[in-house]
Amino acid sequence: MATNATWYTNGKGKNVKVLVCKDYETLSKRAAGILAAVVNGKTDPILGLATGSSPVGTYKELIRMNEEGTLDFSKVRTWNLDEYYPLAPENDQSYHYFMNCNLFDHVNIDKNNVHVPDGNAADIEQAGADYEAQLDEIGGVDIQLLGIGNNGHIGFNEPTDVFVGPTHVVQLTESTIQANARFFEKIEDVPTQAISMGIGSIMKAKKILLVANGAGKADAIAKTLEGPITPFVPASILQLHQDVTIIIDEAAAANLKEYKPEA
């Protein structure tokens, strides 16, 4: 029987589950289903959220569920991964603005329960420390939604020779600036710094859900799942997390060698 989504396994650990979907719509629906199950399963659900193009379909599906009355955001609290620095939340290129447009403005969430790193803070180092303290206070988010960069970055944790733990200020690489330039009028307008959850902040999440689609992600996905754990492929650290689900389309799965459809 033809199916739109197939679980893949490498026959080793069960901590990383991989679901390969026929198309972006299926991927988005499956990802939204996992997030909705967390929200519906708790009285005080906490979501870690991401920006970028990958989760947009997932957010559309969450909005649809909210509209049809099967998903209630009134008790949901959220912490986003990252924000450009310096950039005000009202700026239409900010990640705060993106989240309002793509999710928060369309669901019954209390905006007081929304947290995005402060890209406008006078003391950005302190803002990072405060954000990390909040994550500690809540004991980590219940589920962290992630996209992945073509170079394997998660959040704004770019490939480098060390894993940086807490929320911190990052210098964006040339390739990330180039990739993000499509959202700005000209490349000079792309901020060169950001404030981002660190690898340690992300790993505090109780569950992790990574979504990726398109051939441009195939190399990063293969290295994340099948390569060595190295800060040069930041997402490879996810191999060590206890509860990860990676939902990708066939194009993003194209370079996998060890992961095969489950028998």
Q: Which residues bind ligand F6R (CB under 6 A)?
A: 50-54, 81-82, 147-149, 153-156
User: Is 241 tagged catalytic?
Assistant: no
Tokens 């979501």 correspond to 47
- Smallest gap from Cβ 171 to ligand F6R, in A, equals 15
Beta-sheet strand order (sheet of 82-85):
82-85, 193-196, 168-171
Query: In angstroms, what is the minimal distance from the CB of 210 to ligand F6R?
Result: 9
Q: Is 151 a catalytic residue?
A: yes
Smallest distance from ligand F6R to CB 257, Å = 23
Residue closer to ligand F6R (CB basis): 3 or 53: 53
- Strand pairing report for 260-261 and 5-9: antiparallel
Shortest separation between residue 190's beta carbon and ligand F6R, angstroms: 13
Active site residue 118: no
In the complex with ligand F6R, which residue's Cβ is closer, 51 or 224? 51
- Contact call for residues 99 and 134 (beta carbons, < 8 A): no
- Between 142 and 158, name the residue whose CB sits nearer to ligand F6R: 158
Cβ closest to ligand F6R, residue 45 vs residue 147 = 147
**Separation of alpha carbons 147 and 26, rounded Å:** 16
Of 61, 66, 80, 82, which residue is the catalytic one?
82
Residues 6+ apart with CB under 8 A from 212: 54, 147, 148, 220, 221, 246, 247, 248, 249, 252
Residue 159: how many CB atoms within 10 A of its CB?
18
Find the catalytic residue in 80, 96, 132, 153. Answer: 153
Catalytic residue chosen out of the listed positions 83, 118, 132, 158:
158
Listed in sequence order, the residues at least 6 apart from 12 whose beta carbon sits closer than 8 Å to its beta carbon are none
Min dist. Cβ of residue 82 to ligand F6R (A): 5
Q: Which is nearer to ligand F6R, 72 or 250 (CB)?
A: 250
**Which CA distances in Å does 21 have to 4, 14, 235, 243, 245?**
6, 19, 20, 20, 13
d(CA 190, CA 212): 23
* Beta carbon of residue 55, minimum distance to ligand F6R (angstroms, whole number): 7
Respond yes or no: is residue 153 known to be catalytic: yes
Q: Residue of minimal CB distance from ligand F6R?
A: 147
Residue 246: both structure tokens together: 């990676």
Q: Which of 83, 15, 14, 27 is nearest to 56 (CA)?
A: 27
Cβ distance to ligand F6R smaller for residue 3 or 184: 184
CB 157 within 8 A of CB 168: no
The catalytic residue positions are: 82, 151, 153, 158
